[in-house]
């Protein structure tokens, strides 16, 4: 078994441990226990916790990018701006809710971009940038849409909305508002 294959296996296990233990309980020690190894053996594959976290974040961005691309590709050829914005918003929400601890790791603190896999963050933004006709140097609308979606989902993960709150209606406001921007980008 190659070291790179073992690293991938450890990352798969690390993601499961992260989701089970939460951010507070996650670390090299919890991964080592789950892998049935002593913590020092993990240093063959990771340069420490920051490297492990960066690898998980890169993996999370890649999975998110695939989910968004799949949702976009599943749209009919004649899909309009609202369908495209809705695909982004609904996929963003479902992805974050399916992986809440990884999502929190990806978005909950400073991001050491130098440690990420090349293109990891950009791939996660690619479809959203295209939706609004923006690029990685100028993306005010995409940034606002991402931040709005992030705010809604992080509050949902934290269970901060009052009981019975119609969260779908809040997401529809995001979709309707951003649809006008996406329609303007395509004109």
Same domain? 8 vs 34: yes
Residues 87-132: tens digit of each pLDDT: 999 999 999 999 999 999 999 999 999 999 999 999 999 999 999 9
Same domain flag for 101 and 69: yes
On whether both 12 and 62 belong to a single domain, the answer is: no
pTM of the model: 0.91
> What's the longest Cα–Cα distance across the chain?
58
Domain that holds residue 138: 53-186
In this predicted structure, what is the pLDDT of residue 1? 42
Specify whether 143 is located in the same domain as 57.
Answer: yes
Q: Does residue 102 share a domain with residue 36? A: no
Both tokens of residue 162? Answer: 């009052």
Residues in Cβ contact with 15 at an 8 Å cutoff, skipping those fewer than 6 apart: 56, 59, 99, 102
How far CA 48 is from CA of 152, 170, 173, in Å, comes to 32, 40, 42
Count the neighbouring beta carbons within 10 Å of the beta carbon of residue 181.
19
Structure tokens belonging to residue 49: 């916790």
Number of domains the chain is built from: 2
| 144-167 pLDDT per residue, tens | 999 999 999 999 999 999 999 999
CATH classification at residue 145 = 1.10.357.10
pLDDT at 42 over 50: yes
């Amino acid at each position: 078994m190659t070291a790179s294959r073992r690293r991938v296996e450890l990352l798969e296990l690390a993601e499961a441990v992260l989701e089970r233990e939460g951010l507070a309980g996650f670390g090299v020690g919890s991964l080592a226990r789950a892998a049935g190894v002593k913590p020092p053996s993990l240093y063959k594959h990771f340069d420490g916790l920051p490297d492990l976290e960066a690898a998980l974040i890169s993996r999370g961005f890649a999975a998110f990018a695939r989910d968004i691309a799949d949702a976009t590709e599943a749209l009919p050829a004649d899909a309009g701006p609202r369908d495209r914005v809705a695909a982004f918003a609904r996929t963003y929400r479902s992805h974050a809710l399916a992986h809440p601890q990884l999502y929190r790791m990806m978005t909950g603190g400073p991001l050491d971009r130098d440690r990420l896999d090349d293109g990891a963050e950009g791939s996660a933004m690619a479809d959203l940038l295209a939706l609004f006709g923006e690029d990685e140097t100028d993306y005010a609308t995409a940034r606002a849409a991402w931040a709005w979606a992030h705010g809604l989902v992080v509050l949902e993960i934290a269970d901060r909305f009052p009981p019975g709150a119609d969260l779908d209606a809040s997401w529809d406001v995001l979709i309707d508002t951003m649809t006008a921007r996406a329609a303007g980008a395509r004109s």
